[in-house]
Structure 1
Amino acid sequence: MRKLFGTDGVRGQANVHPMTAEMALALGAAAGRYFRRDGSNVHRVVIGKDTRLSGYMFENALTAGLTSTGMNVLLLGPVPTPAVGLLTPSMRADLGIMISASHNPHEDNGIKFFGPDGFKLSDEAEAEIEALVEAGTEPTLAANIGRAKRIDDGRFRYQERVKSTFPAGMRLDGMKVVVDCANGAAYKTAPEVLWELGAEVIPVGTSPNGTNINKDCGSTAPQAAAEAVVSHGADVGLCLDGDADRIIILDETGRAADGDQIMALLARRWAEEERLKDGTLVATVMSNLGLERFLDAQGMRLERTKVGDRYVVEAMRQNGWNLGGEQSGHIVMTDYGTTGDGLVAGLQFLAEMIRSGQPASALSQVFTPVPQLLRNVRYSGGDPLLVASVKARIDDAEVRLNGKGRLLIRKSGTEPLIRVMAECEDPDLLQQVVGEIVAEVEAAV
């Protein structure tokens, strides 16, 4: 059982276990020892981060731990998470690390690890690193201590790769685009890419100060961007999260489309172009039943995984599938990258607007979703899902939803939350079932 790693690296509140400088130091040393197996000094690691204030602390602590085992560290500064996935193999690094808590508030932070192939580490690799943390790692000899240096062009390398995913010869000239960067890692990257491709760019959330990442902006709070779309008469809005690995699309009226709608659009286009491997889209158990029905009607299939984009990617790699993602906006296209990339997904949507000549409103509502309700309950200790009254309430809900919908209750892998999600064609029953379970969990908490 892993104690430190969740569904997306190690994550928590900064300066509270496990997200302390001491733990980052130990993780760096353990990861360095794990990847520097032959004792030579040719091993290197790239480190990126988002714009959180605590990123400075974790960057320095990780660097100290890694160099103490002989790893050479290349510091990218603020870059999107997919940039680390891209640059790790490109720069012949043995390890990539992204310091980010994604869509979480600035008080939180996280440490995500990428292997030399640019993909996130497996559960087994993370378990081995955890074991090294617990056992402690011997530092290298003084003569073998690693070096660290800043890399100034990492962001620009990534931007050029992102632009290369846009169809050759196609431009965004005449298109007005609102881009909300959540005051996060893409605050320079996204506006520059869109402008260089010809768009008129209206930026939102591009003034990070260390504490305003994801605050009232970004993919989890798109209201400001929606207002900007309407007030500026924009054609479309692209809302990224703090590390830019997920996206929400806004149409010209400010209406939002989630990852399920984006995946449906791309799956349909790729199937028409015979690009969709095995006619299969990979998504998690959280994706809407309406998406599954849409794919079935189009002669495609939906493969579901556990929650977490890493599990989507694992299924894709194991079976050779090339399109997947999450309802939250992670869109993974292994033809272009190794992890979710909000900006690349946004460009694919813009390309479809140009190719089809249709407005965003016609492309962002591909299927009619089954009514779905998700509510979160925060807890601080214990396991509310093991309480007898909670278990009984869930069992009762399963019976009431049988044949009418589905229920999914789980712990978040990135926050201390119980997520209660249900789908049902009957909206009243949906509200009742979710409300009753949430009340029972709250009582247990």
Structure 2
Amino acid sequence: MPHPQPHEHHHIPTSHPRRRLAVRLQDERFSGLLLLAGAVAALVWANSPWRETYHALAGTVLGPAVLDLDLTISAWAADGLLAIFFFVVGLELKTEFVTGSLRKLDEALLPMAAAVLGMVGPAVIYTLVQLGTASGAGEGWAVPTATDIAFALALLGIFGRGLPPALRVFLMTLAVVDDLLAITVIAVFYTEEIHLLPLLGALAAVAAFALLVQRRLGRWWLLIPLALVAWGLMHASGVHATVAGVLMGLSVPARVRHGEREAMTHRFAERIQPWSAGLVLPVFAFFAAGVTVVDSGLGDVLADPIAIGVVAGLVLGKPLGIWGGVAILVKTTRLRLGNGVDLADLLGVTMLAGIGFTVSLLIAELSFGATPAGDAAKLAVILGSVISAVLGGVTLRVRAKVRVRGRAAHPAAGVPGRGSRARPIAPRSRQR
């Protein structure tokens, strides 16, 4: 799990196949395609004449029963492998809070507020749909609230050329807070029963992990066993095991000390992120997205109030919550977008925020399990994410063309921030 010592890393030539693959997997567009490929493969197999073999594979039980770890393969993907992804999320959160776009509250306040409103909007729309249809499926309110930053940033990079670079920073900052809120939702609302002793043991293991990394003891043979113990005890406590990954990621130092070439968070992320993007997320998507609709009919599944609520939450709730909230805040408070960004630029970004996918699929599983309701929620997550991606991409391209024509007609107007006293957004990048 941890990164090797700096001198070991820098001896790997950039032309080395392993190094080239790692760099490739850090590209958001490529990793997003891998994630999509896993989901498409699952959907095709789960609706083929051999669909029973897919469900048999996903339902195969592995692990020692004596440790209460006799889980299905799909559960290992969601609870086990996904903890690695959330460890990387924890590293990113720590970096942004210490040295990144969240280190100055006044600069981060607007995208932070947008992230909160971007979760409230979908939750309200989903709840209204369930109340209006009397479905009784209110427990799925959190399914459409998450944003998949890998897909969102990839599409912004493709379709947002010609738009202010600060839009990317806004989306990344929003995504950091969105991640933190999603983790909180999972920990608080999807924990049915807490077993105190395993929880205390898990926290003790996380504390030991934190002590080692704070002392810069980054040897894999020390940290990986501790991480496994923390994960296992967190799982036994009843709290979703991925929370252990986040806590350990947050404990890693994000500042460079004397004699270090780079921060430990960066070293760890550089080593682990390719595994997360190239293995963890595609495998999770493969086992989470395998919804069989040929038996009941696609129309029947999508007519389910749960599916309607999820699609409406992602496609309508996200833009209404984020764009509408930001529009109100910039007109009624001293908060400003700044750095050449205006509300028209932000519209396409808010649509991209409706790409839920990874975390939304996880919450759908936690909300409904392997039931017809869960299948409807998962299929709706995929459909809503695709619609949001198409609408966001088209909106960004239209806005970019308007921007380009405007700069051609008025060159001075294309300089970001000229003539504006708005507070700038911190120009810092973030990768998943």
TM-score by length of 2: 0.22
Higher strand share: 1
Higher helix share: 2
Compare relative contact order (CA 8 Å, sep 6+) and give the higher one, 1 or 2: 2
